[in-house]
Amino acid sequence: MENFTAMKKPDFWWIKSLLVAVILTLCTSWGFFAHKEINKMAIFALPQPLMSFYKEHIDFITQQAVNPDKRRYIVVGEAPKHYMDIEYYTDSILAVCPTWTQASERYPEDSLQAHGILPWNLIRLSYRLTDAFKTKDAKLILKLSADMGHYIGDLHVPLHTTKNYNGQLTGQHGIHGLWESRLPELFASNYSYYVGSATQIPSIPKAVWSALAASRTCVDSVLKIELKLQQKFSEDKIFSYEDRNGQNVRVYSHAFSEAYHKALNDMVQRRMRAAIKMTADMWYTCWVNAGKPDPKLFAEPVFSEEEMEELAHLKSAANEACSH
Ligand SMILES: [Zn+2]
């Protein structure tokens, strides 16, 4: 029996790794490309001396922008941090903006985990980043900052605020990847990322809930506009095939993507720019709330071999499509 187990174990791990790789290919948020852009561009909106500190670690902040998506299929409890199905809570939650304690009193824990905890997780993360600044722990500051940029990115994606996150309830399966991966990949080279200088956020919870509400108001247009276009294009014009890493993959055609992008009237660019500005504002605000510690006094971040390997792996990861 022992031998049998020992023989089977490598197969099990091989299959598990393969499954994780396949899932990751299918399921990331914003698309790797946009998440990396948001984290990277936020650095350039920071005032000194913060900008110099983050710039020194621009590679880490950029590559680690996709780490939370990498974790979500491996770490229990990670997935709900990326979205909120507002239909479950109803839109009134956007006016009430309950604290985590208030929400825990009202909703059962398993329902909260099932329907998403994006705003509460992000607010909690801001306290952790403030503490990391207070203790001048550069490694922790960088890790939490990269994670924060990711969740702020998700917060700005309309389809992260609805249970119809991939158009699966309205015959629009695939719209999630179209909006947040395909469109930025095709058209972001024309986007302007200049968002001005980071400013202090007077109330982080208020800012988080307000960004969530802004994403929520876009959901209708995101879905309706695509549905309308579907009727104008025949199926063979909606999709085309592209070579991705040697595989022939079905993608939304350039013509359909372009028509959708145009009809959205710059929505993707606006949401990306808002995510960049808010990421810079949040990093800056946590630093200010920690008493503006001098980055020159931060302990030099030391990364383990495993962390360096992970970074190298993330660097080589392709831009992917996504789900919730
Ligand atoms: Zn995500």
- % of the chain surpassing 70 pLDDT: 88
Q: What's the rounded mean pLDDT across residues 196-208? A: 98
Model pLDDT for residues 109-136, shown as the tens digit of each residue: 999 999 999 999 999 999 999 999 999 9
Q: What's the rounded mean pLDDT across residues 281-308? A: 93
Helices (H), ranges, the chain = 2-26, 32-43, 50-56, 58-63, 67-71, 86-89, 93-96, 100-106, 109-115, 118-134, 138-155, 175-177, 183-187, 204-232, 235-238, 254-263, 267-289, 305-316
Range of the domain at 93: 43-316
Model pLDDT for residues 7-45, shown as the tens digit of each residue: 333 344 334 444 443 333 344 457 789 999 999 999 999
How far away, in angstroms, is 82 Cα from ligand 1 center? 5
Q: Is residue 48 part of a domain?
A: yes
Looking at the structure of the chain, the number of domains it has is 1
Q: Is residue 111 part of a domain?
A: yes
Q: What angle do CA 213, 69, 250 make, to 5 degrees?
A: 95
How far away, in angstroms, is 199 Cα from ligand 1 center? 25
Q: Is residue 187 part of a domain?
A: yes
Report the pLDDT value the prediction gives residue 11, as an integer from 0 to 100: 42
Model pLDDT for residues 56-112, shown as the tens digit of each residue: 999 999 999 999 998 888 899 999 999 999 999 999 999 999 999 999 999 999 999
How far away, in angstroms, is 115 Cα from ligand 1 center? 14
How far away, in angstroms, is 22 Cα from ligand 1 center? 16
Q: Is residue 24 part of a domain?
A: no
Domain CATH for 132: 1.10.575.10
- Provide the whole-model pTM: 0.88
> What distance in Å separates the CA atoms of residue 287 and residue 308, rounded to the nearest whole number?
26
Report the pLDDT value the prediction gives residue 78, as an integer from 0 to 100: 96
Report the pLDDT value the prediction gives residue 9, as an integer from 0 to 100: 36
How far away, in angstroms, is 233 Cα from ligand 1 center? 31
How far away, in angstroms, is 3 Cα from ligand 1 center? 41
> pLDDT band for position 324 (50/70/90)?
low
